[in-house]
Amino acid sequence: MAQAKPQERDRPLLEARGVVYRYGAISALRGVDLHVDRGEAVCVIGPNGAGKTTLARVAGGLYRPAEGALLVDGEPLSRRPHEAVARGVGSVLEGRHLFVEQTVRTNLELGCYHGKVPKAVVAERLEKVMELFPVLRKRAGQQTSTMSGGEQQMVAVGRALMAEPEVLILDEPSMGLSPKITGEVFDALAALRAGGLSILLIEQNAPLAFELADRGYLLRQGSVVVEGSIEELTGDDVVRSAYLGA
Protein backbone atom coordinates (compact mmCIF):
# COMPACT_ATOMS: atom_id res chain seq x y z
CA MET A 1 0.00 0.00 0.00
CA ALA A 2 1.37 3.40 -0.98
CA GLN A 3 2.39 5.71 1.85
CA ALA A 4 0.86 9.18 1.97
CA LYS A 5 3.13 12.16 1.51
CA PRO A 6 3.36 14.29 4.68
CA GLN A 7 1.30 17.15 3.19
CA GLU A 8 -1.45 14.67 2.21
CA ARG A 9 -1.98 13.10 5.62
CA ASP A 10 -4.58 15.65 6.77
CA ARG A 11 -6.50 15.51 3.49
CA PRO A 12 -9.40 13.04 3.16
CA LEU A 13 -8.56 10.04 1.03
CA LEU A 14 -12.12 9.86 -0.31
CA GLU A 15 -14.57 12.75 -0.20
CA ALA A 16 -18.06 13.53 -1.48
CA ARG A 17 -18.86 17.24 -1.67
CA GLY A 18 -22.46 18.28 -2.16
CA VAL A 19 -23.17 15.18 -4.26
CA VAL A 20 -26.48 15.11 -6.09
CA TYR A 21 -27.53 12.13 -8.21
CA ARG A 22 -30.77 11.75 -10.10
CA TYR A 23 -32.61 8.96 -11.88
CA GLY A 24 -34.54 11.07 -14.35
CA ALA A 25 -36.62 13.48 -12.28
CA ILE A 26 -36.06 11.53 -9.06
CA SER A 27 -33.26 12.72 -6.77
CA ALA A 28 -31.57 9.72 -5.13
CA LEU A 29 -28.85 11.81 -3.43
CA ARG A 30 -29.46 15.38 -2.28
CA GLY A 31 -26.28 17.30 -1.51
CA VAL A 32 -24.39 14.55 0.34
CA ASP A 33 -21.17 15.48 2.12
CA LEU A 34 -19.03 12.59 3.35
CA HIS A 35 -15.37 11.81 3.81
CA VAL A 36 -13.07 8.91 4.66
CA ASP A 37 -9.64 9.63 6.08
CA ARG A 38 -6.59 7.43 5.69
CA GLY A 39 -6.73 4.31 7.83
CA GLU A 40 -10.31 5.06 8.87
CA ALA A 41 -13.43 2.90 8.67
CA VAL A 42 -16.64 4.83 8.00
CA CYS A 43 -20.13 3.35 7.80
CA VAL A 44 -23.33 4.57 6.15
CA ILE A 45 -26.60 3.20 7.49
CA GLY A 46 -30.18 3.91 6.47
CA PRO A 47 -33.47 2.34 5.43
CA ASN A 48 -34.21 0.78 2.05
CA GLY A 49 -34.56 3.47 -0.59
CA ALA A 50 -32.37 5.93 1.30
CA GLY A 51 -29.82 6.13 -1.52
CA LYS A 52 -27.14 3.93 0.04
CA THR A 53 -26.42 1.85 -3.07
CA THR A 54 -26.41 4.97 -5.25
CA LEU A 55 -23.90 6.54 -2.86
CA ALA A 56 -21.71 3.41 -3.04
CA ARG A 57 -21.70 3.58 -6.84
CA VAL A 58 -20.94 7.30 -6.90
CA ALA A 59 -18.14 6.83 -4.34
CA GLY A 60 -16.72 3.99 -6.43
CA GLY A 61 -16.67 6.10 -9.59
CA LEU A 62 -19.38 4.10 -11.37
CA TYR A 63 -21.93 6.94 -11.34
CA ARG A 64 -21.06 10.56 -12.05
CA PRO A 65 -22.82 13.14 -9.84
CA ALA A 66 -25.28 15.52 -11.45
CA GLU A 67 -23.98 18.15 -9.03
CA GLY A 68 -21.12 18.23 -6.56
CA ALA A 69 -17.95 16.20 -6.79
CA LEU A 70 -16.31 12.95 -5.72
CA LEU A 71 -12.65 13.46 -4.88
CA VAL A 72 -9.76 11.06 -4.31
CA ASP A 73 -6.76 12.62 -2.59
CA GLY A 74 -8.36 16.02 -3.19
CA GLU A 75 -8.66 15.57 -6.96
CA PRO A 76 -11.97 14.84 -8.74
CA LEU A 77 -12.52 11.65 -10.68
CA SER A 78 -13.02 11.89 -14.43
CA ARG A 79 -15.89 10.38 -16.40
CA ARG A 80 -14.00 7.09 -16.84
CA PRO A 81 -15.14 4.53 -14.22
CA HIS A 82 -11.90 2.54 -14.41
CA GLU A 83 -9.99 5.59 -13.18
CA ALA A 84 -11.26 4.98 -9.65
CA VAL A 85 -9.50 1.60 -9.52
CA ALA A 86 -6.30 3.05 -10.92
CA ARG A 87 -6.40 5.73 -8.21
CA GLY A 88 -6.79 3.30 -5.36
CA VAL A 89 -10.56 2.93 -4.94
CA GLY A 90 -11.85 -0.64 -4.75
CA SER A 91 -15.54 -1.56 -4.74
CA VAL A 92 -17.52 -4.61 -3.70
CA LEU A 93 -20.97 -4.03 -5.13
CA GLU A 94 -24.27 -5.34 -3.81
CA GLY A 95 -24.95 -8.60 -5.65
CA ARG A 96 -21.20 -9.27 -6.05
CA HIS A 97 -21.18 -9.14 -9.91
CA LEU A 98 -18.83 -12.08 -10.34
CA PHE A 99 -18.11 -14.04 -13.50
CA VAL A 100 -19.84 -17.09 -12.09
CA GLU A 101 -18.97 -19.44 -14.98
CA GLN A 102 -15.28 -18.81 -14.35
CA THR A 103 -13.15 -20.28 -11.59
CA VAL A 104 -12.39 -18.60 -8.31
CA ARG A 105 -8.78 -18.04 -9.39
CA THR A 106 -9.85 -16.38 -12.65
CA ASN A 107 -12.26 -14.07 -10.83
CA LEU A 108 -9.53 -13.05 -8.42
CA GLU A 109 -6.97 -12.49 -11.17
CA LEU A 110 -9.42 -10.22 -12.97
CA GLY A 111 -8.97 -7.83 -10.07
CA CYS A 112 -5.61 -6.92 -11.64
CA TYR A 113 -7.13 -6.09 -15.04
CA HIS A 114 -6.59 -2.34 -14.75
CA GLY A 115 -2.85 -2.45 -15.41
CA LYS A 116 0.03 -4.61 -16.57
CA VAL A 117 0.74 -6.44 -13.35
CA PRO A 118 3.66 -8.91 -13.49
CA LYS A 119 2.74 -12.55 -12.93
CA ALA A 120 4.92 -12.71 -9.83
CA VAL A 121 3.02 -9.77 -8.30
CA VAL A 122 -0.33 -11.35 -9.18
CA ALA A 123 0.82 -14.52 -7.41
CA GLU A 124 1.82 -12.52 -4.32
CA ARG A 125 -1.54 -10.80 -4.20
CA LEU A 126 -3.36 -14.10 -4.64
CA GLU A 127 -1.44 -15.49 -1.69
CA LYS A 128 -2.49 -12.53 0.50
CA VAL A 129 -6.15 -12.98 -0.44
CA MET A 130 -6.00 -16.72 0.26
CA GLU A 131 -4.38 -16.09 3.62
CA LEU A 132 -7.26 -13.75 4.42
CA PHE A 133 -9.88 -16.23 3.17
CA PRO A 134 -8.38 -19.75 3.46
CA VAL A 135 -11.45 -21.39 1.89
CA LEU A 136 -10.60 -19.72 -1.42
CA ARG A 137 -7.31 -21.64 -1.58
CA LYS A 138 -9.29 -24.88 -1.45
CA ARG A 139 -11.78 -23.59 -4.02
CA ALA A 140 -9.32 -21.91 -6.40
CA GLY A 141 -10.08 -24.20 -9.34
CA GLN A 142 -13.82 -24.43 -8.65
CA GLN A 143 -16.44 -22.78 -10.83
CA THR A 144 -17.70 -19.79 -8.86
CA SER A 145 -21.39 -20.55 -9.50
CA THR A 146 -21.08 -23.75 -7.45
CA MET A 147 -20.03 -21.88 -4.31
CA SER A 148 -22.25 -20.66 -1.48
CA GLY A 149 -23.29 -17.02 -1.30
CA GLY A 150 -20.89 -16.42 1.55
CA GLU A 151 -17.97 -17.90 -0.34
CA GLN A 152 -18.88 -15.81 -3.38
CA GLN A 153 -18.83 -12.72 -1.17
CA MET A 154 -15.30 -13.64 -0.14
CA VAL A 155 -14.36 -13.90 -3.82
CA ALA A 156 -15.86 -10.45 -4.47
CA VAL A 157 -13.89 -8.90 -1.61
CA GLY A 158 -10.75 -10.73 -2.70
CA ARG A 159 -11.11 -9.56 -6.29
CA ALA A 160 -11.29 -5.92 -5.12
CA LEU A 161 -8.22 -6.44 -2.94
CA MET A 162 -6.23 -7.79 -5.89
CA ALA A 163 -5.92 -4.20 -7.16
CA GLU A 164 -4.38 -3.22 -3.80
CA PRO A 165 -6.77 -0.34 -3.12
CA GLU A 166 -6.17 2.37 -0.57
CA VAL A 167 -9.87 2.57 0.23
CA LEU A 168 -12.37 -0.27 -0.05
CA ILE A 169 -16.09 0.44 -0.56
CA LEU A 170 -18.51 -2.32 0.39
CA ASP A 171 -22.24 -2.21 -0.33
CA GLU A 172 -24.28 -4.41 2.05
CA PRO A 173 -21.62 -7.15 2.44
CA SER A 174 -23.70 -9.03 5.05
CA MET A 175 -26.82 -9.28 2.90
CA GLY A 176 -28.07 -12.85 2.60
CA LEU A 177 -25.18 -14.37 4.53
CA SER A 178 -25.42 -16.73 7.49
CA PRO A 179 -24.25 -15.37 10.85
CA LYS A 180 -21.17 -17.62 10.70
CA ILE A 181 -20.06 -16.42 7.26
CA THR A 182 -20.93 -12.82 8.13
CA GLY A 183 -18.60 -13.12 11.12
CA GLU A 184 -15.80 -14.48 8.93
CA VAL A 185 -16.19 -11.70 6.38
CA PHE A 186 -16.24 -8.98 9.02
CA ASP A 187 -13.29 -10.51 10.86
CA ALA A 188 -11.38 -10.21 7.58
CA LEU A 189 -12.48 -6.59 7.19
CA ALA A 190 -11.32 -5.85 10.73
CA ALA A 191 -7.93 -7.36 9.90
CA LEU A 192 -7.68 -5.22 6.76
CA ARG A 193 -8.57 -2.11 8.73
CA ALA A 194 -5.96 -2.98 11.37
CA GLY A 195 -3.47 -3.23 8.50
CA GLY A 196 -4.17 0.37 7.46
CA LEU A 197 -6.79 -0.03 4.73
CA SER A 198 -9.45 2.67 4.66
CA ILE A 199 -13.03 1.37 4.45
CA LEU A 200 -16.38 2.86 3.46
CA LEU A 201 -19.03 0.40 4.59
CA ILE A 202 -22.62 0.72 3.35
CA GLU A 203 -24.57 -1.54 5.68
CA GLN A 204 -28.16 -1.82 6.89
CA ASN A 205 -27.13 -3.87 9.92
CA ALA A 206 -26.16 -0.97 12.17
CA PRO A 207 -24.83 -2.96 15.17
CA LEU A 208 -22.53 -4.91 12.84
CA ALA A 209 -21.37 -1.75 11.07
CA PHE A 210 -20.73 0.02 14.37
CA GLU A 211 -18.38 -2.76 15.52
CA LEU A 212 -16.07 -2.04 12.56
CA ALA A 213 -16.38 1.70 11.99
CA ASP A 214 -14.82 4.75 13.62
CA ARG A 215 -17.50 7.16 12.36
CA GLY A 216 -20.82 6.92 10.61
CA TYR A 217 -23.58 8.62 8.67
CA LEU A 218 -27.33 8.04 8.68
CA LEU A 219 -28.82 8.51 5.22
CA ARG A 220 -32.53 9.14 4.70
CA GLN A 221 -34.27 10.04 1.45
CA GLY A 222 -30.93 10.85 -0.13
CA SER A 223 -29.70 13.19 2.61
CA VAL A 224 -27.37 12.82 5.57
CA VAL A 225 -29.51 13.42 8.66
CA VAL A 226 -27.10 12.29 11.39
CA GLU A 227 -23.31 11.99 11.40
CA GLY A 228 -20.59 11.60 13.98
CA SER A 229 -18.43 9.16 15.86
CA ILE A 230 -19.84 5.73 16.65
CA GLU A 231 -20.28 6.89 20.24
CA GLU A 232 -22.30 9.88 19.04
CA LEU A 233 -24.43 7.76 16.74
CA THR A 234 -25.20 5.17 19.40
CA GLY A 235 -26.29 8.00 21.68
CA ASP A 236 -28.56 9.59 19.09
CA ASP A 237 -32.28 9.01 19.80
CA VAL A 238 -33.17 8.55 16.12
CA VAL A 239 -30.43 5.98 15.56
CA ARG A 240 -31.14 4.17 18.82
CA SER A 241 -34.87 3.81 18.19
CA ALA A 242 -34.67 2.88 14.50
CA TYR A 243 -31.50 0.75 14.36
CA LEU A 244 -30.45 -0.36 17.83
CA GLY A 245 -33.80 -1.37 19.27
CA ALA A 246 -33.45 1.04 22.19
- The CA distances from residue 200 to 50, 93, 107, 152, 192, in Å, are 16, 12, 23, 20, 12
Domains within the chain, CATH numbers bracketed: 12-243 (3.40.50.300)
Q: Which amino acid is at 103?
A: T
Assign 206 a pLDDT band (cuts: 50, 70, 90).
Answer: very high
Q: Does residue 2 surpass a pLDDT of 80?
A: no
pLDDT tens digit sequence for 11-62: 899 999 999 999 999 999 999 999 999 999 999 999 989 999 999 999 999 8
Region class of 103: left (phi > 0), else alpha (psi between -120 and 50), else beta: beta
Q: Which amino acid is at 141?
A: G
Q: Which amino acid is at 112?
A: C
Q: Does residue 5 surpass a pLDDT of 70?
A: no
pLDDT at 16: 96
Distance between CA atoms of 190 and 138, rounded to whole angstroms?
A: 23
Q: Does residue 155 surpass a pLDDT of 70?
A: yes
pLDDT tens digit sequence for 119-151: 899 999 999 999 999 999 998 999 989 988 889
Angle at 34 between CA 32 and CA 39, to 5 degrees: 165
